[in-house]
A and B are shown apart, each in its own frame.
Chain A
Amino acid sequence: MTTIDLTRLAAREMASGLRAGDFSARKLIDAHLENIRTTDGPLHAWVFVDEDEARNQADAADRRIAEARRASADAVARLPGLLGVPVALKDLVLTRGQPSTAGSRILQGWKSPYDSHIAERLKHAGAVLPGKTNMDEFAMGSSTEHSAWGPTANPWDLERVPGGSSGGSAAAVAAFHAPLGIGTDTGGSIRQPAALTGTVGLKPTYGRVSRYGIVAFASSLDQIGPFGRDVRDAALLMATLAGRDERDSTSAPIPVPDYPAELAEGDDEAASMLRGMRLGLPRQYFVKGMEAGVEARVREAVAALAAAGAEIIDVDLPHTDYGLATYYIIAPAEASANLARYDGVRYGHTVRQEGADYIADYLATRGSGFGPEVKRRIVLGTYALSAGYYDAYYLKAQKVRTLIKADFDRAFENVDAIVAPTSPTVAFRFGARLADPVSMYLSDACTLPVNVAGLPGLSVPCGLSEGLPVGLQLIGRPWEELRLFQLGRAYEGITSGAEWRGMEPRDLGLLSDPKTPSAMDRAATVGAAA
C-alpha cells in the first residue's frame, strides 16, 4: 500500500478508515499535529495546542475501536461517527482545564472549570480536540485581525485575511490542520470565513445548538456551527452538535434529522433533488460594492442550479438595506450587557491599584483588558441602551427586526430556500478595512439579516474570482438545515467536474517554507498588527 497523506482525506473517510483498521487515530492525529507544527507559524490559525491531550484522546479512540472490532461488526457500526476524528475548536468553546480566551487579553491565563455542551458531546463521541483556534476578540470582527494574539492568514493568499470572526477554524480546515472545525456565527462569523477560505460552513437556526459554555457575544443572535471541506463532512459534525440541552433554555426541543444519512453519496443522486425545487433569488443581496467576479460566480451557480431542474424565483426582501443598522444596534447592545461580567473579580485579567476606589479599578481592568473593536462596541451598545436613546435605537431596531423577519416569512411562502452571495468580496488584504469600522461591518451585509431573523444559512464554495474562493449562501426556513445540506450537496454534485473543485489553497506550499513571514509580521508591514 502506498502511503497516503491522511490529512487530505474527508472526515467521513477518516472515520471509516479508523473502523476498518486501515490506520490508527494516533497516526491520524500525529499527521495533523505535524501539519500544525510545520505550517502554523505563517498561518497562525491556532492560539493553543495541547499535543499530549490530543494524543491521549486519540489513544482512547483507538481502544474503543479495538474493543468494538473484537466484539462484533455490529458494535463497530454503532461507534459514533466522529470517533478519532480531529476537530478544531474556536477559542470561545470552553473545555475543562484548558484555556479559552475568546481572542481577548481579559481572559488571558484563565482555564475553564467545566466543558461546554458541545465539548461534552464531542468528547463523548470520541472526537480528538487538538486545541483552540484564533478569532476576532469576543467574535467581533470579519477578518480575525481583532484578535489580541495577532491575525490569521488565508491559506489561499498569505497577505490576505481568512475572514472572521471564526477565521482560525476556517483557515485550519482549509490548510489540513483538521478536517472539521467549530465556529460561532452572530452576523456571519461562520459563513463569511467559509466563503473566503473555500470551505463549507453552516450557521444553524437560532436554538438548534446549545450555547452552554460558549463565551457570549450577542445572546439573541449567537449560534454555533460546523466547518468542513465539503457538505457531507459539515453535516457529520452538525449531527453531533445539534439538539436540546436544558442548560440553554433557548435550545429547542425539536427533533434532529440524521443529517449524514440523508445525504446522497452519488453526484447524480444528490443532484436529482433539485428537480422542482423552488429557489428564491433576492435582488437586494447583490449589494453596492459587490465585486463583479463574486457576482459572476454566484450567478453562474444559480444558472447551474436552474439547469439541473431548480426553479429560480425572484423574491423581494425589501428591508434588507436596514439589516446593517439593525444588527449594529442589537448586537452591540447585547454585547455591552454580556461583557459587563468581566470585572476582574472572579476570573481573568485584573488591575487593582493601591489606594484607588473600586470604580477606578473596574475602569483600569476593562480599559486595559479589552481591545479597540470591543471597546467600540461596548460604548455603542451602552449608548443605544442608555436613557433617552433606548426608544430611538434599541427599541426601533427590534421593531425593524420584526419587519426583516416578516420579509423572509413572506418569501418562504413561495420558495423552499433562498440563494445569495455569502460575502460581497473575496478575501481582502490585511489592514484594508481596519481604519474604517463601517467598511468592515459591510463584509457581513449579506449574512447578518439571516441572524437577525434567526434562520439557518449555509455557505458552500462556488468557484474562484482572481484566484480566490467565492461562497454561495443558501438560506432556509427555521429548522431546515437538512434541506440546506441537501441543496449544498446537490450543488457539489452538479459541479463535481469543475476545474476549481480539486484545487488546494494557492499558498499552501509557502506555509512550510521557513522563510515565509508570520501572519503577524505581514500584518505589521501594513500597520495592521493587533
Chain B
Amino acid sequence: MATFTRKDVEHVAHLARLGLTEDEMARLEGQLNHILDQYAVLAQLDTEGIAPTAQTIELENILRDDIVRPSLPSEEVLAAAPKRLGEYFVVPPILGEHGN
C-alpha cells in the first residue's frame, strides 16, 4: 500500500482546509504512516464480489409529510454568527481582489 509523504500531508491538509504548522506536519507524516501500516491487513483480504455496506439497518427511503412548520428563529441563529450584517451572515469574499 501507499506510503504517506510530506507532500501528501500538505496536499490532503489543504483539501481539508486545515492549516498545519511545520511541526504538526512532521509529526503527522510519521503517525499517519504508522496508521496506514495497520490498514495494510485489509489488502490481504479477498473482497471480490462482496458488496459494500454503507449502513447496517435495512431502511427503505423515508419520506415525511410535506407540512409547513416554523424554522428556528432567525435572530437566535444569527446571534451565533461571528460576523453579521442585519439579517445576513457575512461570508469571506470569494471573488475580486481577495478571492480566486
Shortest Cβ distance from A213 into chain B, in angstroms?
12
How long is the Cα–Cα vector from A250 to B28 in the complex, in angstroms? Answer: 34
Known A-B contacts A324-B38, A383-B8, A401-B53; the reply to A376 vs B31 at CB < 8 A is yes
Interface set, chain A 310-363, CB cutoff 8 A to B = 319, 321-322, 324-326, 328-329, 336, 340, 343-348, 350, 352, 355-363
Whether A438 lies near B57 (C-beta < 8 A) is no
What 1/0 flags go to A110-146 for Cβ under 8 Å of B? 1101100000000000000000000000000000000
The A-contacting residues of B in range 18-32, CB under 8 angstroms, are 18-21, 24, 28, 31-32
Q: Which residues of B contact A398 (CB under 8 A)?
A: 52-54
Contacts of A122-181 to chain B: CB distance below 8 A? none
- Tell me the bound Cα distance from A102 to B15 in angstroms: 24
Closest to A344 in B: B82
In the bound complex, CA of A319 to CA of B46 (Å): 12
**Does B68 count as interface, using CB distance less than 8 angstroms?**
no
- Chain A residues contacting B83 (CB-CB under 8 Å) are 350, 352
How many residues on the A side are at the interface (Cβ–Cβ under 8 A)? 75
Chain A residues, Cβ within 8 Å of B35: 328, 380, 437-438, 441
B56 touches which of A111, A359, A453 (Cβ 8 Å): A453
Contact B12 A402 (CB under 8 A): no
Interchain CA distance A325-B54 in the complex, whole Å: 16
Chain A residues with CB under 8 Å of B40's CB are 325
Report how many residues on chain B are interfacial, defined by Cβ distance under 8 Å: 57
B19 in complex: contacting residue of A336, A363, A372, A380, CB < 8 Å: A363
- CB pair A357–B57 under 8 Å, yes or no, is no
Q: Binding site of B, secondary structure by majority: helix, strand, loop or mixed? A: loop
Alpha-carbon separation in the docked complex, A370 to B17 (Å): 12
Tell me whether A252 and B57 are in contact (CB under 8 A).
Answer: yes
User: Which chain B residues (38-78) contact chain A, with CB distance < 8 Å?
Assistant: 38-43, 45, 47, 50-57, 59, 62, 64, 72-73, 76-77
CB neighbours of A382 from chain B (8 A): 12, 15-16
Main secondary structure of the interface of A (DSSP, over half): helix
* Binding-face segment, A80-88, A386-394, A422-430: A386-394
Write out the residue numbers on chain B whose beta carbons fall within 8 Å of the beta carbon of A348. Answer: 80, 82
User: Are B98 and A355 in contact, with the CB atoms below 8 A?
Assistant: yes
Task: From the candidates B18, B42, B43, name the one contacting A363 in the complex (CB within 8 A).
Answer: B18
Q: Are B93 and A358 in contact (CB under 8 A)?
A: yes
Cα A405 to Cα B58 in complex, Å, equals: 13
- The yes or no answer to B85 lying at the interface (CB within 8 A) is no
Residue of B nearest to A329 (CB): B39
A250–B57 CA distance with the chains assembled, in angstroms: 8
Contact B56 A358 (CB under 8 A): no
Instruction: Indicate which residue in B14, B21, B47, B79 contacts A403 across the interface (CB closer than 8 Å).
Output: B47
User: B72 contacts which chain A residues (CB < 8 A)?
Assistant: 113-114
Q: Report the minimal beta-carbon distance from B48 to chain A, rounded to whole angstroms.
A: 9
Set B14, B42, B56, B81: member contacting A454, Cβ < 8 A: B56
Q: Let me know if B17 and A405 touch, CB within 8 A.
A: no
- Determine the distance from Cα of A401 to Cα of B47 in the docked complex, in whole angstroms: 10
Which residues of B (77-100) have their CB < 8 Å from a CB of A? 77, 79-83, 89, 91-94, 98-100
Residues in B with CB closer than 8 Å to A357 are 92, 98-100
Chain B, residue nearest A368 (CB): B19
Q: Is the CB of B80 within 8 A of A402?
A: no
**A378 interfacial contact with B, CB 8 Å:** yes
Is B39 a contact partner of A328 (Cβ separation < 8 A)? Answer: yes
For the complex, give the distance between the alpha carbons of A209 and B70 in Å: 24
Q: Who on chain A is nearest to B44 by CB?
A: A322
A227 to B76, CA, bound (A): 32
Contact B15 A403 (CB under 8 A): no
Tell me whether A508 is interfacial, beta carbon within 8 Å.
Answer: no
Please name the residue on chain B nearest to A207 by beta carbon.
B57
* Inter-subunit contact A397/B99 (CB<8 Å): no
B42 and A366 form a contact (CB under 8 A): no
Pair B56/A389 contact, Cβ less than 8 Å: no
Residues of B within 8 A of A486 (CB): none
Q: Is A530 an interface residue (CB 8 A)?
A: no
Within 8 A of B (CB), among A388-424: 389, 392-393, 395-403, 405
Name A's B-contacting residues (CB within 8 A).
110-111, 113-114, 205-207, 220, 246, 249-250, 252, 319, 321-322, 324-326, 328-329, 336, 340, 343-348, 350, 352, 355-364, 366-368, 370, 372, 375-376, 378-380, 382-383, 386, 389, 392-393, 395-403, 405, 436-438, 441, 452-455, 478
Can you identify 19 A-B contacts, CB atoms within 8 angstroms?
A220-B55, A336-B16, A346-B80, A347-B80, A358-B93, A358-B94, A361-B92, A363-B19, A379-B13, A379-B28, A382-B16, A396-B47, A397-B42, A399-B51, A399-B52, A405-B56, A437-B35, A453-B56, A455-B56
